[in-house]
Amino acid sequence: MRPELTQAVELLRSGNPGAIDDALALLQNTVFSFSMKVCGHREDAEDTMQDVLLKALPYLPKLQDPQALAVWLYKVARNRCWMSRRRSKFAPRETVALDDLMPDASELESLTAGSQPSPEALVASHESAQRVREAVLSIPAPYRLVLVLHDMEDLDTPEVARVTGLKEGTVRVRLHRARLLLRRELSAGKAQPRLRRGRGRAAKPVPCRKLFAQLSEYLDGRLPDLTCERIQKHLQDCPPCVAFLADLQRAVHRCRAYAEPCRPETAGLLRKLLADEYLRVLKSQAAAGQGHRPSHPAASPAESQRGQPERRRRPANPQTA
């Protein structure tokens, strides 16, 4: 979960009027950034940010759990984006099958030949926020939502499952395919072919294919030690797979580093509106004796306690595995 949400809850709990603006700024940035990645259009993201935060204001004074706040915000923002989104010019028309995302032997060999990016390519990668945005938007919406929540908003698997209503196993499957799609979109030179069916493609090496199906679980430290040892042994003997894994890690890193800030003038105007409304809510609740605790419309603090947070282990470095 993003640390900004925890910080926002702490600021609101402090009861300091001067902290309200800071807390709302953190919530604004979180909701706008998520909405921009999912909606793909700035106007839709700004509208979503405004609507979601206005809905949240009556519940903020009583909410004590940052995790409950995160699940509710993302769930409401997701629903608002789905209702208002416009079809992006990057939106794909094809479904995603795992075999279509797996490289064949020749593609793996080409990755080995160019596995180390040139200094020029590294410089270009740091200047390509637009490229990352286009790559994320090119991923089919159900997979993109999981990628954004997990890798860009830093929710763990149980939290993503609660936001999306999916089983945790389905979250992991969609996350892996979304990462593979992202890697292909961000690969230098676009050497890999676009999505297509299996005709005309050389058979993939069986050990490599088994590895590819588990790469996200390996990167996130979710595999048993014995399975990790088998993967590391395979990597020691298979430079193409080492290159592929490193390429996938670079893509995920670029995805996680991407940020989409709201326009300062828009954020400032909305924050003043939100702060005024929040103070009005506080005054109204104080006048009512604070005896009524509103039920959370989508996720209560009690709900947020179900399940244990995912514990991630640091994966082995593919270059030294």
Cα 318 from chain centre = 23
- Residue 147 corresponds to which tokens in the numbers above? 């990628």
Q: Are 157 and 171 in contact (CB under 8 A)?
A: yes
Could you say which residues of the chain have pLDDT below 50? 87-94, 115, 122-123, 125-126, 189-200, 291-292, 294-309, 311-314, 316, 318-321
Over the range 68-100, which residues count as b (16 or more CB within 10 Å of their CB) and which as e? bbbbbbbbbbbebbeebbeebeeebeeebeeeb
Q: Are 1 and 155 in contact (CB under 8 A)?
A: yes
Q: Are 136 and 255 in contact (CB under 8 A)?
A: yes
Q: Are 290 and 40 in contact (CB under 8 A)?
A: no
Residues 6+ apart with CB under 8 A from 142: 174
**Residue 221 confidence (pLDDT):** 94
- For tokens 């399940």, what's the residue? 307
Number of helices (H) and strands (E), helices first, in the chain? 17, 0
Question: What angle (nearest 5°) sits at the alpha carbon of residue 152, between those of residues 146 and 157?
Answer: 45
Amino acid in the structure at residue 180 = L
Question: What angle (nearest 5°) sits at the alpha carbon of residue 145, between those of residues 187 and 308?
Answer: 110
**Residue 158 confidence (pLDDT):** 96
- Quick one: CA torsion of 118, 124, 125, 126, rounded to 10 degrees? 120
Residues counted in the chain = 321
Q: Are 177 and 131 in contact (CB under 8 A)?
A: no
Domain extent listing, the chain: 3-86+263-302, 98-257
Residue 136: how many other CB atoms lie within 10 Å: 28
Distance CA 25, CA 170 (A): 33
**Residue 104 confidence (pLDDT):** 62
Look at residues 120, 125, 99, 103 and name the one whose alpha carbon lies nearest to residue 112.
103
C-alpha pair distances (Å), 138 with each of 35, 142, 165, 194: 15, 12, 23, 12
Handedness of CA 7, 9, 12, 13 (dihedral sign): negative
**Residue 199 confidence (pLDDT):** 45
Residue 278: how many other CB atoms lie within 10 Å: 23
